[in-house]
């Protein structure tokens, strides 16, 4: 098994990030890092799509709360609890293991050359997504972001 830590974040799809930040701040006392907008290619069962996403993380954690702005026609189409994010040090092997366990891959961020580069979502039989995140490539970016820097 390639997972090296338990879940480090919970992803929630919301209609409007700023409204959700204010509401969850009031209700749960959470504070937020700035929202990040990103364009990226995602490999899906329907083919490769260019998708604009917008997200932010709570300052409290782990586990962190990740808010993702709703995007119709994408994996972030339905609002509500969307995924559990876990680190892996072997992206492809862990994805293959999830597939073999009956948890098919739904989407993965890719580079223009087709190389996997970001979150890889698999879907459980009940519709919950588990996001496999490569600690080698995404770990440093997340650490920078959580410390007030960019997410490049």
Q: What is the pLDDT of residues 40-98, one digit of tens each?
A: 898 888 889 999 999 999 999 999 999 999 999 899 999 999 999 999 989 899 999 99
- What is the pTM (predicted TM-score) of this model? 0.91
- Using the predicted structure, report yes or no on whether residue 1 has a pLDDT greater than 60: no
Three-state SS at 54: strand
What confidence tier does 5 reach under pLDDT thresholds 50, 70, 90? Answer: low
Q: Could you tell me the domains of the chain?
A: 9-15+40-51+71-146 (3.30.720.110)
Q: What is the pLDDT of residue 131?
A: 96
Q: What is the pLDDT of residue 28?
A: 97
Task: Give the whole-number percent of the chain exceeding pLDDT 90.
Answer: 66
How does the average pLDDT of the chain come out, rounded? 91
Residue with tokens 């290619």: 41
Give the residue-averaged pLDDT of 118-142: 91
How far is residue 128's CA from residue 112's CA, in Å, rounded to a whole number? 28
Using left for φ > 0, alpha for ψ between -120 and 50, and beta otherwise, residue 7 falls in beta
Q: What is the pLDDT of residue 114?
A: 87
Residues 57, 145 contacting (CB under 8 angstroms): yes
Residue with tokens 């990030």: 17
């Amino acid at each position: 098994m390639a997972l090296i830590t338990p879940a480090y974040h919970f992803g929630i799809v919301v209609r409007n990030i700023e409204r959700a930040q204010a509401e969850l701040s009031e209700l749960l006392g959470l504070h937020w890092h700035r929202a990040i907008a990103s364009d990226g290619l995602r490999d899906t069962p329907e083919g490769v799509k260019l998708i604009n996403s917008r997200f932010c993380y709570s300052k409290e954690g782990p586990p962190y709360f990740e808010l993702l702005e709703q995007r119709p026609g994408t994996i972030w189409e339905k609002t509500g609890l969307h995924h559990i994010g876990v680190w892996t040090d072997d992206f492809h092997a862990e994805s293959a293991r999830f597939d073999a366990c009956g948890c098919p891959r739904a989407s993965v961020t890719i580079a223009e050359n087709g190389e996997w580069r970001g979150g890889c979502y698999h879907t459980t039989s009940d519709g919950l997504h588990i996001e496999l995140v490569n600690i080698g490539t995404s770990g440093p970016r997340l650490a920078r972001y959580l410390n007030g820097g960019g997410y490049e």
